């Protein structure tokens, strides 16, 4: 069996785990009773306690994880000693002694997350349970100047931490979600399309030196999928995709309960999938690519051409276009049929992409999110669901559900922090 490879770059003391049994389709993994994988077993048990939400007894954990009762007891004692779990009460099955219930202690550890976007940089602090403790966003005032942005990030993180009142030694690390392409091995962003001037920015090394924290870097769409798995509505789904609509468009994939990162950690670049043969020309030479035809820039161009929105000197600026998607959606909310038609055309294109994703990876769920999704979600969802249901090839075998993320506009930043929780505490094969 091949050992698992963690594709993100980690500097500092964030733990790495290798080896162990294969994944179960249920999402939980079976433990091993071998002594040398005690650390893996700790993760398996902690993962089971975390997912149980309402608490588990040691006996239930033994059944759930496949570990021997004594092994579960030993692991629980270690987790109790570290303050990661607590005994919170008793449960009774009606037979024998009542059993002590174990629950996660969310306030025992925390993780920081940063999402670098051409429009906004978002900072979040999560507790061990994946709950949002603090967050703030800053508009990217000079998005082309990496040095200026990097200089502000460490101080912004200090402000976030100071405001939360949480001791620094409870912070496990800092996760960064960034647009691709990424040099994961080198911990760097490499010429992202919407951040000209960011030729090679070594985020991991620079932020580790600035904060002293372990740092993990991953693609923003992958981070969004990890967020959905840890803190969102897909915690029980072993096969799902996250369709991220922001300044760019991309897909995060989870298959067989494994986050799919690809050969170089850059999986999910779906921007040039053709979704409308009569659509707008793309820089790649094709017409109707998803990333162009469903981009905020094109939606706003259509809205201006149709007279829904006034022309603006910033109409060619992608960053401003993302912010103006809300105005287009409000016009549709107010009954402007031209605005409704623009969103309807965009939904048809998105539906083609969602069906292709579903057919390609045989998934059961596509979660949509991102800043260009949020204001349009209530228009898109009722249109997407019947379109997808009609065209999904496996529709007689299983459904392909389409939902909006419940994590809001901060989903990629939450995902960045979840990368740290995932790195430290998720049981992986």
By CB under 5 A, name the binding residues for Zn ion: 272, 282, 284, 286, 289
With a CB cutoff of 8 Å and minimum separation 6, the contacts of 221 are 242, 244, 250, 251, 252, 268, 412
Provide, rounded to whole angstroms, the least separation between the CB of residue 283 and Zn ion.
Answer: 6
Nearer to Zn ion, 76 or 289 (CB): 289
CB of 266 to Zn ion, least distance (A): 17
Burial of 273 (0-12, 13-18, 19+ CB in 10 A): buried
Which CB sits closer to Zn ion, 72 or 289? 289
Contacts of 156 (CB under 8 A, 6+ apart): 121, 123, 136, 138
* Smallest gap from residue 282 Cβ to Zn ion (A): 3
Q: Which lies closer to Zn ion via its Cβ, residue 245 or residue 289?
A: 289
Tell me which residue of 117, 57, 406 sits closest to 249, measured CA to CA: 117
* CA distances (Å), origin 263, targets 7, 165, 193, 300: 8, 40, 20, 35
Select 118 or 291, whichever has its Cβ closest to Zn ion.
291
* Nearest C-alpha neighbor of 290 from the set 230, 226, 368: 368
Q: How buried is residue 97: exposed, middle or buried, by Cβ count under 10 Å (0-12/13-18/19+)?
A: exposed
First to last CA, the chain: 10
Residue closer to Zn ion by CB (options 78, 287) is: 287
CA distances in angstroms from 293 to 84, 219, 346, 374, 413, listed in the order given: 47, 22, 7, 18, 26
How far apart are the C-alpha atoms of 342 and 383, rounded to whole Å? 13
- Of 237, 242, 226, 227, the closest CA to residue 26 belongs to 237
| 284/393 with CB nearer Zn ion | 284
The beta-strand segments (E) located in 198-308 are 200-201, 215-219, 240-245, 249-255, 258-260
Shortest Cβ 412–Zn ion spacing (Å): 23
SS3 346: helix
Nearer to Zn ion by C-beta: 220 or 276? 276
Q: How far apart are CA 226 and CA 309, in angstroms?
A: 36
Alpha carbon separation from 286 to 283, 356, 376 (Å, rounded): 7, 18, 26
Q: What's the closest the beta carbon of residue 180 comes to Zn ion, in angstroms?
A: 15
Residue 185 or 284: which CB sits closer to Zn ion?
Answer: 284
Give the three-state DSSP class for 340: helix
Closest to Zn ion by CB, 283 vs 386, is 283
CA distance readout (Å), 303 to 293, 351, 382 = 13, 20, 21
């Amino acid at each position: 069996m091949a050992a698992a490879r963690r594709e993100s770059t980690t500097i500092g003391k964030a733990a790495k785990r290798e080896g162990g049994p294969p994944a179960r389709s249920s999402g939980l993994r079976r433990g091993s009773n071998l002594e040398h994988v005690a650390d893996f077993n700790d993760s398996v048990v902690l993962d089971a306690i975390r997912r149980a939400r309402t608490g588990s007894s040691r006996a239930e954990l033994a059944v759930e994880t496949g570990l021997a009762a004594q092994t579960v007891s030993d692991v629980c004692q270690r987790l109790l000693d570290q303050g990661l779990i607590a005994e919170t009460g008793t449960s009774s099955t009606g037979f024998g002694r009542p059993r002590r219930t174990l629950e996660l202690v969310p306030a025992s550890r925390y993780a920081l997350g940063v999402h670098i976007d051409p429009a906004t940089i978002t900072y979040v602090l999560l507790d061990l349970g994946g709950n949002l403790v603090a967050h703030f966003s800053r508009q990217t005032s000079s998005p082309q100047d990496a040095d200026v942005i990097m200089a502000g990030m460490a101080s912004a993180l200090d402000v976030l931490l100071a405001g939360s009142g949480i001791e620094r030694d409870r912070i496990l690390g800092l996760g960064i979600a960034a647009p691709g392409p990424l040099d994961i091995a080198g911990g760097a962003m490499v010429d992202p399309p919407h951040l000209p001037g960011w030729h090679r920015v070594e985020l991991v090394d620079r932020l580790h030196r600035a904060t002293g924290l372990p740092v993990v870097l991953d693609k923003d769409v992958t981070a969004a999928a990890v967020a959905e798995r840890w803190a969102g509505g897909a915690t029980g789904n072993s096969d799902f995709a996250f369709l991220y609509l922001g300044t760019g468009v991309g897909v995060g994939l989870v298959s067989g309960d494994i986050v799919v990162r690809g050969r170089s950690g850059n999986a999910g670049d779906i921007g040039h999938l053709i979704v409308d043969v009569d659509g707008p020309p793309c820089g790649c030479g094709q017409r109707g690519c998803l990333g162009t035809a469903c981009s905020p820039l094109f939606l706003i161009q259509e809205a201006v051409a149709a007279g829904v929105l006034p022309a603006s000197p910033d109409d060619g600026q992608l960053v401003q276009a993302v912010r103006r998607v809300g105005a287009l959606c409000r016009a549709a909310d107010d009954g402007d049929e031209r605005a409704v038609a623009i969103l309807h055309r965009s939904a048809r294109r998105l539906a083609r992409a969602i069906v292709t994703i579903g057919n390609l990876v045989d998934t059961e769920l596509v979660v949509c999110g991102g800043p260009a999704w949020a204001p349009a979600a209530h228009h898109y969802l009722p249109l997407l669901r019947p379109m997808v249901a009609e065209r999904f090839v496996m529709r007689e075998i299983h459904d392909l559900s389409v939902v909006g993320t419940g994590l809001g506009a901060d989903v990629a930043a939450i995902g960045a922090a979840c990368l740290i929780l995932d790195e430290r505490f998720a049981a992986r094969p």
